[in-house]
């Protein structure tokens, strides 16, 4: 009834159509996103069929004896057809683990999809991880604004910053080009503050934007003709996620980030379900940058979690006696 095959380029159109129709995937799981840095990973993505029908995919890469739900992505896990019931999901996962065991892959590591990104109930994976005695090897804390709880409460600091921005006549502009933000704000700031580079080079993020122009959006703040702050937003069906945030050294004096996020949260993305500031974690989730968390929560964001699992592939036998 079920069959499993490794992904190859001939499956690209089928894969992407499946991702678009799924209720627990976003454009990050499209092959055009996954493959922008394909030379860095040993791709080992899988497709699962029921008869002739594709019912699940697993974006993945292999390192040694471990399969990872793709390390080049923020989240992943098993993507299922929206009509799939739990008994089929269980059988699919049992088939998946047995296949990996037969390939001498000992462990499957999964970055779960945060709940806010799913278009419907999506706790099947979490329950399977419980049944399989998986280890929670990491848990990240995301700071999220839930638009179901209005009005959004912001701190007095953010209100003062907004007034500063108004005094300085700051203007927020959405721009197609990412060049100004990357070259004048983001790269210099990351170099000066942390001696690191953005995860995406300008060339990579520009390529991704060309594939997903409606999903990757750039908002910049200007004082006169000078860019002073900006953010790159990854927009999905339910969520606007601030992927990159940066401002010049005058951000406190100008209130540039306050003006920017007030505009995004209360105007541009007001019809979304959630606004996601991302994590404030360090040390694989064991520590939180207190100042960064405070700043995000001062806009009204509150915590949800993203779990990272490791499961032994031999534990597929634990799924043989679930139903009674």
**Domains and their CATH numbers in the chain:** 2-139+307-319 (3.40.630.30), 149-272 (3.40.630.30)
Query: pLDDT tier at 34 (50, 70, 90 boundaries)?
Result: very high
User: What is 67-131 written as a DSSP string?
Assistant: EEE-TTSS----EE-TT--HHHHHHHHHHHHHHHHHTT--EEEEEPPPGGG-SS---HHHHHHHH
pLDDT for position 150: 79
Contact 144, 304 (CB under 8 A): yes
Mean predicted confidence (pLDDT) in 251-256: 94
Which helix or strand (DSSP H or E) is residue 144 part of?
strand 135-146
Share of the chain above pLDDT 90, in %: 93
pLDDT for position 124: 94
pLDDT for position 151: 85
Average pLDDT value for the chain: 96
Which helix or strand (DSSP H or E) is residue 302 part of?
strand 302-312
Query: pLDDT tier at 1 (50, 70, 90 boundaries)?
Result: confident
pLDDT for position 323: 94
User: Tell me, what DSSP letter sits at residue 43?
Assistant: B
Q: Above 90 in pLDDT, residue 153?
A: no
Burial state string for 200-216 with b = 16 or more CB within 10 A and e = fewer than 16 = bebeebbbbbeebeebb
Find residue 220's DSSP bridge partners.
173, 230
Q: Above 90 in pLDDT, residue 54?
A: yes
Query: pLDDT tier at 195 (50, 70, 90 boundaries)?
Result: confident
Query: pLDDT tier at 261 (50, 70, 90 boundaries)?
Result: very high
Mean predicted confidence (pLDDT) in 289-295: 96
CB-neighbour burial class of residue 283 (10 A; exposed 0-12, middle 13-18, buried 19+): exposed
- For residue 228 the two structure tokens come to 């002073």
pLDDT for position 120: 87
Contact 254, 228 (CB under 8 A): yes
Mean predicted confidence (pLDDT) in 294-309: 96
Q: 179-194, pLDDT tens digit by residue?
A: 999 999 999 999 988 8
Q: 103-145, pLDDT tens digit by residue?
A: 999 999 999 999 999 998 899 999 999 999 999 999 999 999 9
Q: Which residue did the predictor score with more confidence, 37 or 172?
A: 172
Contact 183, 202 (CB under 8 A): yes
């Amino acid at each position: 009834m079920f069959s499993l095959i490794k992904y190859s380029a001939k499956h690209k159109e089928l894969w992407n159509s499946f991702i678009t129709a799924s209720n627990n995937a976003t454009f990050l799981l499209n092959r055009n996103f996954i493959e922008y840095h394909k030379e860095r990973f040993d791709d080992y993505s899988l497709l699962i069929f029921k008869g002739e029908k594709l019912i699940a995919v697993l974006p993945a890469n292999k390192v040694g004896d471990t399969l990872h739900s793709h390390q080049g992505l923020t989240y992943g896990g098993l993507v299922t057809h929206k009509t799939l019931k739990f008994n089929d999901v269980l059988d699919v996962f049992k088939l998946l683990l047995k296949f990996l065991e037969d390939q001498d892959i000992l462990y499957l590591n999964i970055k779960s999809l945060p709940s806010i990104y799913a278009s419907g109930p999506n706790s099947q994976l979490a329950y399977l991880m419980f049944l399989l005695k998986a280890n929670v090897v990491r848990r990240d804390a995301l700071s999220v604004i839930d638009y179901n709880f209005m009005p959004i409460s912001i701190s007095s600091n953010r209100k003062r910053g907004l007034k500063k921005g108004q005094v300085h006549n700051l203007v927020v502009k959405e721009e197609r080009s990412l060049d100004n933000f990357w070259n004048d704000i983001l790269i210099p700031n990351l170099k000066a503050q942390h001696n690191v580079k953005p995860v995406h080079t300008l060339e990579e993020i520009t390529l991704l934007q060309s594939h997903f122009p409606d999903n990757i959006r750039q908002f910049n703040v200007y004082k006169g003709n000078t860019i002073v702050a900006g953010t790159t937003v990854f927009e999905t069906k339910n969520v606007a996620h601030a992927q990159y945030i940066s401002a010049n050294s005058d951000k406190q004096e100008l209130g540039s980030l306050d003006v920017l996020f007030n505009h995004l949260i209360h105007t541009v993305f007001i019809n979304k379900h959630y606004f996601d500031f991302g994590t404030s974690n360090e040390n694989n989730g064991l520590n939180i940058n207190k100042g960064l968390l405070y700043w995000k929560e001062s806009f009204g964001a509150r915590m949800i979690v993203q779990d990272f699992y490791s499961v032994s592939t031999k534990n597929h036998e634990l799924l043989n006696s679930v139903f009674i």
